[in-house]
């Protein structure tokens, strides 16, 4: 499995504490790139600007990726464009939230 896929799989274990579902199914991760030195860049968003869980979720992403073997530096960019919309939730996420 490529490192990018390992990072993606690991992020399924980071749960949004308010909604109780993982941030991948919630559609918060916009991009995962890994360079030749195994440095990871994550581009992500949150469901609403000013989300009080900002620091917690960002830390969660960092901590979880850190647990992957041979990982280099981790750079997390939080972006608001394009804005998160419910359309970004996966079918499984919609089911978990009760509107699938």
Q: Which residues bind other proteins (CB under 8 A)?
A: 13-15, 17-20, 47-52, 54-57, 59-67, 85-86, 89, 97-99
Q: How many CB atoms lie within 10 A of CB 40?
A: 23
Nearer to other proteins, 5 or 63 (CB): 63
Tell me how far apart the alpha carbons of residues 93 and 96 are, in angstroms, rounded to a whole number. 5
Q: How far is the CB of 96 from other proteins (least distance, A)?
A: 11
Q: How far is the CB of 19 from other proteins (least distance, A)?
A: 7
Nearer to other proteins, 40 or 65 (CB): 65
Tokens encoding 74: 């981790």
Contact 34, 43 (CB under 8 A): no
In the block, which residue shows the tokens 């960019």?
77
Q: How far is the CB of 61 from other proteins (least distance, A)?
A: 6
């Amino acid at each position: 499995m490529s490192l990018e896929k390992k990072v993606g799989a690991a992020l399924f274990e980071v749960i949004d504490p308010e909604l109780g579902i993982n941030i991948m199914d919630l559609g918060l991760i916009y991009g995962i790139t890994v360079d030749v030195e195994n440095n990871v860049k994550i581009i992500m968003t949150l469901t609403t600007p000013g989300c009080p869980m900002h620091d917690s979720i960002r830390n969660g992403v960092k901590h979880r990726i850190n647990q992957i073997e041979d990982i280099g530096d981790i750079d997390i960019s939080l972006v608001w464009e394009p804005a998160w919309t419910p359309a970004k939730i996966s079918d499984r996420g919609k089911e978990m939230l009760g509107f699938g």
